[in-house]
Amino acid sequence: MKILFDHGTPAPLRHHLPEHSVDRSAENGWEMLENGELIRKAEEDGYSVIVTTDKNMRYQQNLQGRTLAIVVLQSPAWPRVRLRTEEIRSAIEEARPGEVTEVSI
C-alpha cells in the first residue's frame, strides 16, 4: 500500500511499516500545502492512506467520494507513538477510501 505521512507524523513510524511504501509530504515538496490540496495531490499520485496528526482535517475536508483514507494520530510525540505501532498498523490496513480513523495515543 502507498502511504503518505503528513508533516506532523513522526518519521520513525515508517520503519514499523516495512510491507508498505511510505513517503513523507516533505519528500514530495508538499509540506506547505493546505489539507485540500494535499489530499488532491496524494490521490493523483496514487496514495491509499494519509497518516496525519491534524485532528481537524476530518472537519475541514469532505472525504465523500475520495479514493484515499485518512488515519489521524492523536499525538505527534514519537515516544508515545512508538508504543502504539501495532494499533497504527492495523488502522492503516483496515482504512477504507473516504473514511477517517483516529488512533488514540
Main-chain phi, psi angles of 23, to 5 degrees: -125, 155
> What CATH number is attached to the domain comprising 90?
3.40.50
Side chain identity at residue 36, one-letter code? G
Report the pLDDT value the prediction gives residue 22, as an integer from 0 to 100.
Answer: 98
Report the pLDDT value the prediction gives residue 100, as an integer from 0 to 100.
Answer: 93
Q: What is the pLDDT of residues 19-43, one digit of tens each?
A: 999 999 999 999 888 888 999 999 9
**Does position 84 have pLDDT exceeding 90, yes or no?**
yes
Give the start-end residues of each E strand in the chain. Answer: 2-5, 21-24, 49-52, 69-73, 100-103
Q: Which domain holds residue 71?
A: 2-103
State the total domains in the chain.
1
Q: Considering the entire predicted model, what is its pTM?
A: 0.93
